[in-house]
Chains A and B, each alone.
Chain A
Amino acid sequence: MKNKISLFTIAILLFSFIHPLNNLFSQNRTNAAAKLIFDSFIPGKDSILKVGVLFELEKDWHIYWRNPGDSGIPTSIEFILPNGLHSSGIQWPVPSIFNYDTEVNFGYENQVMLMSDIFIPSSYALGSIKITAKIEALLCKYICIPFDTILNTTIDLTSDKTLNDHASKLFEETEKLLPISNHNLIAKANYEIENLHLSIDNLNETQMKYDSFLFLPYENGLFSYTAEQKIVRDGNQITLIVEPAQFRTQKPDSLEGILVMKGNGSIQAYEIKVPISH
């Protein structure tokens, strides 16, 4: 009996190695999963239903930020909602920076939640609603695989929704990673010959203590990401000197992105929108 099992096991293993379907299985292997999570909601009181797409990625795989960097494509989530409801864009947490020899990418690894708001007008007749999220992402390690999926769920908006501790913590932690858009920082930008000089003034004592400052633009193709952003500190001001992208042909009139400050194990990001003087 034991011999029969061994022979059967060997036969199965051999079949799985030589059968053409083996390739098909390995190509279709999923290295990521995505699911929809909803924040707490109180009918009649809340006009926004916060929804998160939670990505769980296998070790060493990543997906991309709104600006993917030198390669890749931005992760996209399109919500299909009942008439009368609409959603915000993705609220992007601060991305990780993947620095390779010849290129730099911005994105997320391990686990990330990309949040959006679904706006519910006061005139909307609450009931069960179907929510569909069409996700298009590129999943990369040393190779890339498209990760396209559609998530469907129905949620009853007539009763209170409360979250378990785990989901509640996910929303709290993701909120902390969102760039701060309401701040007192004063930004100025200008070109000096080819390099862009971005000055940030009015930094407080805590902010000046950060070890590193990096500006990540929303628009791709403006900067060289492999070139170091030089930092000049002066009082409560820092100036970042940024090299242009190798093949950029036009100098933009404005700049939008996030200023990422890192130090002592903490990270903080501020949204910056500034006209560029030529």
Chain B
Amino acid sequence: MLKKLVIVFFVLFGYSCYSQTAKLNEAAPNFTLKDSFGKVHSLSDFEGKIVVLEWINYECPFVKKHYNSKNMQNLQTKYTKKDIVWLAICSSAKNKQGNFSNDEINERSKKHGAKFTAYLIDEDGKVGKMYGAKTTPHMYVINKEGKLVYAGGIDDTRSADIDDIETAKNFITAALEELLAGKPVSIQSSKPYGCSVKY
């Protein structure tokens, strides 16, 4: 009987953990995922820090735009040096585009010179759906108080063309600079653009 109760508790607990919906200016829903080296990370591990979530699929042309140009890696390098946590999350389901073995993820990340804190694997898509991630890339910023303060595109230029990066307004830079200066984020949402997340 006790065993059954324990099972029911954990099923309900597990469900409630992932049944929340991310909302702007509210506490960012917690999650726990393994990274590409097998290490477990929870959002709550980074309490008191600014956190960036980046939905990723290395095969998507829009992700390629930001990695082949080094735009994404430059942002990762700049802001992780400022004690900001950068979590790339892949919600591609098994046998879908962007779902790779850990070895291949690490090889691709190394080849790109990626500087994120961790590449997290969300193969069942629960975290992606909880955050309403629709595209790759789809970006989120969480402030030091743990509240979601930005959700949307990386910038304002909806294209797969590398040449557009230079003239685009980068919403992540803007949000992070404001947070680092102790200011509220002025542009809190934009329409993300890119490939669909391969749930």
Q: Please report A residues at the B interface, Cβ cutoff 8 Å.
A: 70-74, 100-103, 105, 136, 138, 140, 142-146, 220-221, 246-249
Q: Is B67 an interface residue (CB 8 A)?
A: no
Contact A74 B158 (CB under 8 A): yes
Q: Which B153-199 residues have a C-beta within 8 angstroms of A?
A: 158-161, 188-199
CA distance A145 to B190 in the complex (A): 23
Which one, B151, B196, B198, contacts A247 given CB within 8 A? Answer: B151
Contact of A140 among B189, B191, B195, B197 (CB under 8 A): B195
* A71→B61 contact, CB < 8 A: no
B residues near A (Cβ < 8 Å) are 21-24, 59-61, 96-97, 125, 129, 132, 134-135, 151-152, 158-161, 188-199
Residues of B close to A145: CB separation below 8 A: 61
Residues of B contacting A: mostly: loop
Name the residue in A138, A145, A247 with the highest tally of chain B Cβ atoms < 10 Å from its Cβ. Answer: A247
Q: Please give me the 4 A-B residue pairs with the lowest Cβ-Cβ distance, nearest first.
A: A221-B191, A71-B196, A247-B189, A247-B151
**Complex interface: chain B residues within 8 A of A248 (CB):** 189
Chain A hits for B96, CB < 8 A: 142
Are B160 and A73 in contact (CB-based, < 8 A)?
A: yes
A247 to B134, CA, bound (A): 12
Q: Please name all residues of chain B whose beta carbon is closer than 8 Å to the beta carbon of A71 when the two chains form the complex.
A: 134-135, 192-197
Residues of A within 8 A of B152 (CB): 247
A70-B196, A142-B97 in contact; A249/B24 too (CB < 8 A)? Answer: yes
Complex partner residue of A144 from B22, B61, B134, CB under 8 angstroms: B61
- 17 residue pairs of the A-B complex, CB under 8 angstroms, read A71-B135, A71-B193, A71-B195, A72-B195, A72-B196, A101-B199, A102-B197, A142-B96, A143-B195, A144-B196, A145-B61, A146-B160, A221-B191, A246-B132, A247-B151, A247-B152, A249-B189
Partner of A73, one of B125, B158, B189: B158
- Distance from B196 Cβ to chain A, minimum over Cβ atoms (Å): 4
A143 to B134, CA, bound (A): 14
Inter-subunit contact B189/A103 (CB<8 Å) = no
Interchain CA distance A63-B77 in the complex, whole Å: 35
| Least distance between B43 CB and chain A CB atoms (Å) | 18
Which A residues lie within 8 Å of B151 (CB)?
A: 246-247
Cβ B199 vs Cβ A102 within 8 A = yes
Chain B hits for A103, CB < 8 A: 134, 196-197
Using CB atoms, name the residue of chain B closest to A102: B199
CA distance A32 to B59 in the complex (A): 20
